[in-house]
Chains A and B, each alone.
Chain A
Amino acid sequence: MPMNGVKGGRYLVHVAITLKGSRDPEGETILKDVVTASGLSGVLKVRSGKYLGFVISAPNAEGAVKAVADLCYRLRIYNPTVHELLMLGVEDEGSGD
């Protein structure tokens, strides 16, 4: 959860939710019918997923990433049975005041 009142900064945490294990027909179709069909070779796999960005106040970047990972798990933003949560990165957005 956003740690309101905590002295620190404002961070934008980028996450993506992708399928793990089971078939990914959207990614497979993009690979087959767009990438490979265009004549490009060398692309072996395309993974589809959903992007979310969380702006959060936290003491530091590491804390922001951890808080977002925790809330994504706890609130079932992704379904751990079928999805993998990718932590894509974090940006310092300043004090947020």
Chain B
Amino acid sequence: MRVAVIRFPGTNGDLDVAHVLNRVVGLRADVVWHEKFEGEGYDAVVIPGGFSYGDWLRAGAIASRSPALKEIREMASDGKPILGICNGFQILVESGLLPGALLPNDPPRFMARWVRVKVLNTKTPFTAMYNDGEVASMPIAHGEGRYYIDDPISVNAVFTYHGENPNGSINSIAGVASGDGNVVGLMPHPERASEDALVPRGHGKGGLKLWLSLKESLSRGW
């Protein structure tokens, strides 16, 4: 099972994601430069966080036009698991693979702190091992994470902020999935919440089950 972790100019979460996949959960992950990415040979893709192209135009807008997204679009339509974290979520939204938009935070500042999210949908390859309604801790670190969609009822919300809504997202939505569930994006960083050493007091490693879910889903032939 091979997972591609895509790197754009300005991506900074790539090595953390690859570390967790390779060393913590035991999947094989390669960090791939976006211009070199070919979907063939990969069973899943993670678009990590960062500031691709310096957030120019809008966060994720320029990376979403990369040829890599054509490959990812094909993989998505084949049903393969695709995950976007933070800037990766912004890229998936900008590319149209996920619905809605991510706007500057309300209140208008960069937020970097641990939050709790509730898992609403466990029928995705990234949430299969969570319990319905489970609350998981993960950190957020973003300036443009206010999820917006005209019709929030229509969206397949996977994660909502539990307790405080840190960025003004509509219906407290922190992460969404495509209709089929194989494409998932979220603003919090599960890769920074998968090892005890990184977790502050009062929180748990709420991101670990996301990666274990991917491993389990791939081994079952998702």
State the A residues within 8 Å of B (CB): 19, 22-23, 25-26, 28-29, 50, 76-77, 79, 81-82
User: Lowest 6 A-B CB distances belong to which pairs?
Assistant: A25-B108, A25-B106, A82-B101, A26-B108, A23-B106, A22-B148
Q: State A23–B106 Cα separation when bound (angstroms).
A: 8
Question: Do B150 and A25 touch across chains, with their CB atoms under 8 A apart?
Answer: no
Q: State A3–B83 Cα separation when bound (angstroms).
A: 39
| B85-116 with Cβ < 8 A to chain A | 94, 100-101, 103-108
Contacts of A22 in B (CB 8 A): 103, 146, 148
Q: State A79–B61 Cα separation when bound (angstroms).
A: 10
On chain B, which size bracket covers the interface? 10 to 19
Question: Do B104 and A25 touch across chains, with their CB atoms under 8 A apart?
Answer: yes
A24 CB to closest chain B CB (Å) equals: 9
Question: Do B150 and A81 touch across chains, with their CB atoms under 8 A apart?
Answer: yes
Question: Do A23 and B101 touch across chains, with their CB atoms under 8 A apart?
Answer: no
Q: State A29–B106 Cα separation when bound (angstroms).
A: 10
State the B residues within 8 Å of A (CB): 57-58, 61, 94, 100-101, 103-108, 146, 148-150, 168
Contacts of A26 in B (CB 8 A): 104, 108
B111 CB to closest chain A CB (Å) equals: 12
Q: State A19–B57 Cα separation when bound (angstroms).
A: 14
Residue of A nearest to B93 (CB): A79
Contacts of A28 in B (CB 8 A): 108
Contacts of A79 in B (CB 8 A): 58, 94, 101
Q: State A50–B56 Cα separation when bound (angstroms).
A: 10
Question: Do B101 and A81 touch across chains, with their CB atoms under 8 A apart?
Answer: yes
Contacts of B103 in A (CB 8 A): 19, 22, 82
Q: A22-B146, A23-B168 are known contacts; what are 18 more A-B pairs with Cβ within 8 Å?
A: A19-B103, A23-B106, A25-B104, A25-B105, A25-B106, A25-B107, A25-B108, A29-B107, A50-B57, A76-B61, A77-B57, A79-B94, A79-B101, A81-B101, A81-B149, A81-B150, A82-B103, A82-B148
Contacts of A50 in B (CB 8 A): 57
